[in-house]
Amino acid sequence: MLDSEFFRRWMSATAVSVDREAASLTALDSPIGDADHGSNMQRGFLAVVTTLDKEPPAAPGAVLVLAGRQLISTVGGASGPLYGTLLRRTGKALGDADEVSEADLAAALRTGVDAVATLGGAAPGDKTMLDALLPAVDALGDGGSFAAARAAADAGAEATTPMLARKGRASYLGERSIGHQDPGATSSALLIAALADAAGSGASGE
């Protein structure tokens, strides 16, 4: 079973890796975006960790709802409402139980990912964060492991490189968006990797 401490570890691990990868996320965002994804995510997750440290919620769902709210109010770019919605909806789907099972988390995460798809109006193959998140929730479903979800998210992020962007600023570039890995899919893979790290089931760091 997973308690609120696990979910705080997940958010902390995400903050650490987003901080470490901020420059490379921004580098990915330079050719096809507005070159602020790394710094935006860094600012958002710093606010998440600061808030969770100050007033740690007792329930797993509440950890994610609070984290999502911080992202919406601090990120400043489209990744704020998108990641904020992902975490808030996942947290709401978990309800107010003190502990949740891995199956509960898998189901809740799928609810959160579906909410992101609805908010952004994107479909698989549009070169967005969904291309990392959907394979991850598929891998996590049916009793899959966090390590499998991590591998699926990484593969999904890499698979965005040859795609043509159909959403966001990159979509204005048309054919020129091809050949660059999507920054949002890349940061989504970091979020799933941090989940595996929090569970101790993935190779950490690197």
Partner 1 sequence: MGGNDAGARAADARPGERVVGIVLVSHSAAVAASVAELALGLAAGGAPAPIAAAGGTEGGGLGTSSELISVAAARVDRGAGVAVLTDLGSAVLTVKALLAEGDELPEATRLVDAPFVEGAIAALVTASTGADLDAVATAATEAYDYRKV
Site of interaction with partner 1 (CB under 8 A): 34, 36, 40, 69, 72-73, 76-82, 84-85, 88, 119-120, 168-169
Q: Compare residues 76 and 179 and give the one whose CB is closer to partner 1.
A: 76
Q: Compare residues 12 and 188 and give the one whose CB is closer to partner 1.
A: 188
Q: Which residues does 74 contact at the CB level (< 8 Å), separation at least 6?
A: 43, 44, 47, 80
DSSP 3: E
Query: With the C-alpha atoms ordered 155, 182, 194, 7, is the resulting torsion angle positive or negative?
Result: negative
Q: Compare residues 81 and 156 and give the one whose CB is closer to partner 1.
A: 81
H runs (alpha helix) in 159-201: 183-199
Q: Are 75 and 98 in contact (CB under 8 A)?
A: no
Task: Report the C-alpha dihedral over residues 195, 197, 201, 203, rounded to 10 degrees.
Answer: 130
Closest separation between CB of residue 123 and partner 1, Å? 16
Q: Compare residues 16 and 72 and give the one whose CB is closer to partner 1.
A: 72
Closest separation between CB of residue 37 and partner 1, Å? 11
Closest separation between CB of residue 89 and partner 1, Å? 9
Q: Compare residues 79 and 186 and give the one whose CB is closer to partner 1.
A: 79
Record the tokens describing residue 95, joined without a space. 């309800």
Cα(27)–Cα(34) distance, integer angstroms: 10
Q: Give the CA radius of gyration of the chain.
A: 16
Closest separation between CB of residue 7 and partner 1, Å? 20
Closest separation between CB of residue 38 and partner 1, Å? 14
Query: Taking Cα atoms as reference points, which of 41, 21, 22, 56 lies closest to residue 86?
Result: 41
